[in-house]
């Protein structure tokens, strides 16, 4: 009997703690701690992420296009790779990318490990290959030793991408004011930001931008309520086809992975085509083309204030 009572009390206490922990909202806080990360692997991945030897002429590292201090992007309409080559789509942030259900705008790879091989081989990005990269790394005694201390088979393509992916998993911008509010701190948000969040839900933005990354967990059509690509007036490019480029299905044309809004406050320009410069304009365009609503200027301001409260912290990020 006494035992049952103890179990009941423990159950009630834990239920209570869990209940008090996170507000029941469609957006979830990013984890403050990641006890499962292998810190030695993170450190190696950090060095590789910043290593221009991953590119053909030793001029470009991952960090050239994903600048960690300023939001994990290059803030350019299209990225510039080896020899000044221009890509066809805007670089998304690498922060919180481990919370995306797939990688790239069109979701052509599932994991960060598979993703990392892409830019190394892309002629418009690093324009190299594993034989070339590994040849260069093998000449660096320090990096050879680091790989040996973590992997029996030393420097291999699999081990390089494992390290980079582990580093990317450490790029989490937790402890935003919005997350603190989610965790029960009523004073973390201003009234205006809270109004913005309510509008974000009532307009229906939340149906696409949700979860821990406030996006990154589904595909959506760009222009559900209006012909975005016709109105944009510039030529429709292959990149504009989005998910269609992966599946070849007509129904997937202009579908994109819904981008995360976690760092949207500091990552202009917006959209896969970088067609919009300011966050206010991006909110207006979303209202018009995704929801068929003309959002008033004051509502736009409140939604922008809410989106700004999603910006969390990371020691590399200096916004």
List residues near ligand HEC by CB under 6 A. 49, 54, 60, 62, 64-66, 79, 81, 87, 89, 91-92, 94, 97, 100, 103-105, 112, 115-116, 119-120, 125-126, 164, 168, 203-205, 207-209, 220, 222, 224, 256, 258-259, 261, 264, 267, 270-272, 279, 282-283, 286-287, 290-291, 303
Name the residue among 207, 178, 206 with its Cα closest to residue 23. 178
In the bound complex, what is the minimum distance in angstroms from residue 204's beta carbon to ligand HEC? Answer: 5
In the bound complex, what is the minimum distance in angstroms from residue 249's beta carbon to ligand HEC? Answer: 17
CA angle 284, 204, 184 (to 5 degrees): 105
In the bound complex, what is the minimum distance in angstroms from residue 95's beta carbon to ligand HEC? Answer: 9
Name the residue among 48, 27, 169 with its Cα closest to residue 111. 169
Q: Based on CB atoms, which residue is closest to ligand HEC, 21 or 227?
A: 227
Q: Based on CB atoms, which residue is closest to ligand HEC, 135 or 184?
A: 135
CB 11 within 8 A of CB 17: no
Q: Based on CB atoms, which residue is closest to ligand HEC, 287 or 312?
A: 287
Q: Based on CB atoms, which residue is closest to ligand HEC, 157 or 184?
A: 157
Residue 154 region by backbone torsions, left for phi larger than 0, else alpha for psi between -120 and 50, else beta = left
Cα dihedral 18, 22, 27, 28 sign? negative
Kindly state the tokens that stand for 39. Answer: 């810190």
CB 306 within 8 A of CB 171: no
In the bound complex, what is the minimum distance in angstroms from residue 282's beta carbon to ligand HEC? Answer: 4
In the bound complex, what is the minimum distance in angstroms from residue 251's beta carbon to ligand HEC? Answer: 15
């Amino acid at each position: 009997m006494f035992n049952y009572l103890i179990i009941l009390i423990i159950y009630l206490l834990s239920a209570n703690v869990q209940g008090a922990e996170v507000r029941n909202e469609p957006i979830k806080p990013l984890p403050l701690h990641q006890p499962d990360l292998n810190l030695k692997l993170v450190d190696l991945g950090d060095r590789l992420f910043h290593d221009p030897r991953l590119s053909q002429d030793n001029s470009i590292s991952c960090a050239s296009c994903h600048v960690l201090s300023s939001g994990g992007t290059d803030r350019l309409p299209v990225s510039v790779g080896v020899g000044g080559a221009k890509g066809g789509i805007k670089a998304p942030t690498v922060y919180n990318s481990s919370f995306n259900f797939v990688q790239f705008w069109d979701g052509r790879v599932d994991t960060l490990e598979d993703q990392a091989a892409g830019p190394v081989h892309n002629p418009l990005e690093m324009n190299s290959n594993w034989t070339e990269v590994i040849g260069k790394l093998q000449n660096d005694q320090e990096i050879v030793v680091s790989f040996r201390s973590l992997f029996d088979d030393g420097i291999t393509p699999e081990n390089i991408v494992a390290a980079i992916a582990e580093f990317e998993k450490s790029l989490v911008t937790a402890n935003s004011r919005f997350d603190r509010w989610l965790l029960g701190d009523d004073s973390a948000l201003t009234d205006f930001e809270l109004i913005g969040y309510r509008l974000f839900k009532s307009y229906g933005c939340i149906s696409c931008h949700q979860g821990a990354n406030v996006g990154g967990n589904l595909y959506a059509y760009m222009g559900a309520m209006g012909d975005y690509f016709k109105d944009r007036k510039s030529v429709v490019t292959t990149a504009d086809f989005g998910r269609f480029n992966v599946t070849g299905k007509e129904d997937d044309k202009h579908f994109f992975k819904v981008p995360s809004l976690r760092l949207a406050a500091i990552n202009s320009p917006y959209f896969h085509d970088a067609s919009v410069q300011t966050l206010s304009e991006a909110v207006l365009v979303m209202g018009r083309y995704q929801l068929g609503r003309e959002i008033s200027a004051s509502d736009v301001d409140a939604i922008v204030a809410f989106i700004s409260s999603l910006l969390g912290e990371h020691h590399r990020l200096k916004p």
